[in-house]
Structure 1
Amino acid sequence: MAPKNQARDNREARERLRLYQARQGLHERQRRRRRRDDVVGVGVLVLVAALATGSQLAFAGAQAPRDTDASASATSTPTPSASATAGNMGEVPSKDIADGKRWTGTLTLNEDVRLGIELDGAAAPQAASVEIDLIRKQFYRDTTCHRLADSKGFRFLQCGSANGDGTGDAGFEYGPLENVPSDGEYPAGTLAIARGASPYSQSTQFFIVYGDTTLDGSTGGYTVVGKVTSGLDDLESRITSKGIRSAGSDGTGEPEVATTITGATIRKAD
């Protein structure tokens, strides 16, 4: 039988070993946890970056036409992100709102540029219904026109994103494309809906064609929802003729004259 002091020493040694092993186990668990958290963190960052990129691409896609000479195509707003499958997303206003009729109204920019507008509820019932609903709800008020194209044969002003920078929407995306020009020609005065890669990625963004424009129709083209009936001269003299603040790779960019939608009205004409 071991002496008492030796037995005590053995017990203390075993306890020290137990505590050491416990600390080592704790350190190992903490190391694995940190590693796991690092991996999860990187994964989250990658996912966030991917989602952010996707959102930006969707809105670049939903951003109206690009210069066909540069072999670029247009996409809308966009949203929300562009739908990967054919089908509406979110609560899309009923296409019955337009009632197959012609609608007239106004779109006011910067308080002093007043455009007369006309929406075609027969040729583009779904798009016209969406625009009527958004105007009635004052969705566009205080939103900006964030994108201008001012090169020859490629002239439009794009408006209607919820965030004012080509992103954001009203919580829905819709299709199909309607009343698309078969020849890719969008004459001055055309009001058309911007979109992303999918024909069902139309949302709140639209573009005003202020000079005859040719757009690549290989991806389906753009819904012509109506036209500007008056005020294009004021639009050009006060806003679009002032140029682009900083043009991107496609030749479009933010208008030099900051442009805000300060009012919009609509009513049935027929």
Structure 2
Amino acid sequence: MTSTRERQRAAARARLEREMAERAAKARKRRQMQAIVGAGAALLLVVAGTVWLVTSLGDDETDTTATSGTALCVWNESPAEQRTPQTKDVGLPGTQQPKVGTQTMTIDTNLGPITAKVNLADTPCTAASFTHLASKNFFDNSKCHRLVTEGLKVLQCGDPSATGKGWRETDGTGGPHYRFAEENLPTDKRPPYPEGVIAMANSGQPGSTGSQFFIVYGDSQLDANYTVLGTITSGMDIVKQVGAAGHDNAFGQQAGGGHPKKEVVIKKLTMSAVQG
């Protein structure tokens, strides 16, 4: 009897051990499955996060592209004590300006029209200033006040008072009440100011561009410190006729040149709408 009970107990223990082993195995499988599911979920989160990040960056790039068509322009107003009776306060252009496309500048003179192409990618702020000043009739009925025929070949305009005596913007007392930074400096061009370009005068100091401009009617060697605004597309024959007529040498050797003997009056200067 004892032997039979012992055998029964041994069998029971064996069954229990098998059941426990089976349960342990099932528990291990369950934990393995949970680990796999957890890892999959984590991977899914990583993938989702990556997709979100890429999408967000893509949106940022799109926003950058959308805003890359504008430029931030800074206009520095002249202190009141530095203004003269010839200084014109015509307000300020906006600070956000387009830098995509082109404009046509038309200078309607007493000798005929002169036109120039302005690329906003090169000179967004200078173009914006001209557009603003033109809308205020700033240049209308003003004379081109300086002609240089030796060494340089330029016709200088843009001082409504026509009191300019030399090369620099400050040599003329008339102008707007603000200044702004130079753009599109031809540092890598030879010559820097070839025939046919229209460029901006300044005081010789950075950030001193105003309203005075010069039309180059013969290749000219100048330090590349003056904004190249655009390229003359018609009317160069008019400028060359003025150059051929000479000047009165009013400014002597130090400043160079003088008033054009063939008078040039800007009846009206306009800037077209932005194209392209």
Q: TM-score, normalised by structure 1?
A: 0.61
Q: Alpha-carbon deviation of 1:263?
A: 1.7
Q: Alpha-carbon deviation of 1:94?
A: 2.8
Q: Alpha-carbon deviation of 1:171?
A: 1.1
CA distance in 1, matches of 2:200, 2:128: 12
CA distance in 2, matches of 1:158, 1:96: 29
CA distance in 1, matches of 2:229, 2:102: 11
2:103 corresponds to 1:103? yes
Identity, in percent, stands at 33
CA RMSD of aligned residues (A): 2.4
> Which of the numbers 150, 174, 178 marks the counterpart of 2:180?
174
Task: Give the direction of change, closer, same or farther, for the CA distance of 1:234–1:168 in structure 2 (3 Å limit).
Answer: closer
Larger radius of gyration: 2
Amino acid at match of 1:240: G
CA distance in 1, matches of 2:154, 2:95: 26
CA distance in 2, matches of 1:128, 1:118: 10
CA distance in 1, matches of 2:129, 2:268: 17
> Which of the numbers 198, 216, 227 marks the counterpart of 2:205?
198
Deviations 1:149-178 (A, max 9, x none): 1124x1111101131112211211111x21
2:118 corresponds to 1:119? yes
Q: TM-score, normalised by structure 2?
A: 0.59
Amino acid at match of 1:108: D
Matched position secondary structure for 1:106? strand
Amino acid at match of 1:201: S
> Which of the numbers 209, 227, 230 marks the counterpart of 1:226?
230
CA distance in 2, matches of 1:105, 1:174: 20
Aligned residue-pair number: 179
What is the match of residue 13 of structure 2?
A: none
Task: Give the direction of change, closer, same or farther, for the CA distance of 1:136–1:98 in structure 2 (3 Å limit).
Answer: farther
CA distance in 2, matches of 1:200, 1:226: 19
> 1:101·1:269 contact (CA, 8 Å) conserved in 2?
yes
What is the match of residue 162 of structure 1?
A: 160
CA distance in 1, matches of 2:132, 2:216: 22
Matched position secondary structure for 1:213? coil
> 2:99·2:123 contact (CA, 8 Å) conserved in 1?
no
**Moved runs in structure 1, 4+ residues, more than 4 A?**
79-82
Q: Alpha-carbon deviation of 1:129?
A: 0.7
Q: Alpha-carbon deviation of 1:92?
A: 4.1
Q: Which has the higher contact order (CA 8 A, sep 6+)?
A: 1
CA distance in 2, matches of 1:180, 1:94: 23
Deviations 1:20-72 (A, max 9, x none): xxxxxxxxxxxxxxxxxxxxxxxxxxxxxxxxxxxxxxxxxxxxxxxxxxxxx
Q: Alpha-carbon deviation of 1:235?
A: 2.2
Matched position secondary structure for 1:186? coil
Matched position secondary structure for 1:185? coil
Amino acid at match of 1:116: T
Q: Alpha-carbon deviation of 1:202?
A: 0.9
What is the match of residue 245 of structure 1?
A: 248
Q: Alpha-carbon deviation of 1:116?
A: 1.5
1:4-83 matches, within 5 Å, as none
Amino acid at match of 1:164: A
Q: Alpha-carbon deviation of 1:212?
A: 1.1
CA distance in 2, matches of 1:130, 1:193: 12
1:113-152 matches, within 5 Å, as 113-152=112-151
Which one has the bigger helix percentage?
A: 2
> 2:158·2:213 contact (CA, 8 Å) conserved in 1?
yes
What is the match of residue 258 of structure 1?
A: 263
CA distance in 2, matches of 1:106, 1:206: 14
For structure 2, the 5+ residue unaligned runs are 1-77, 83-89, 165-172
> 1:146·1:164 contact (CA, 8 Å) conserved in 2?
yes
> 1:173·1:202 contact (CA, 8 Å) conserved in 2?
yes
Amino acid at match of 1:215: L
Amino acid at match of 1:140: F
CA distance in 2, matches of 1:108, 1:98: 25
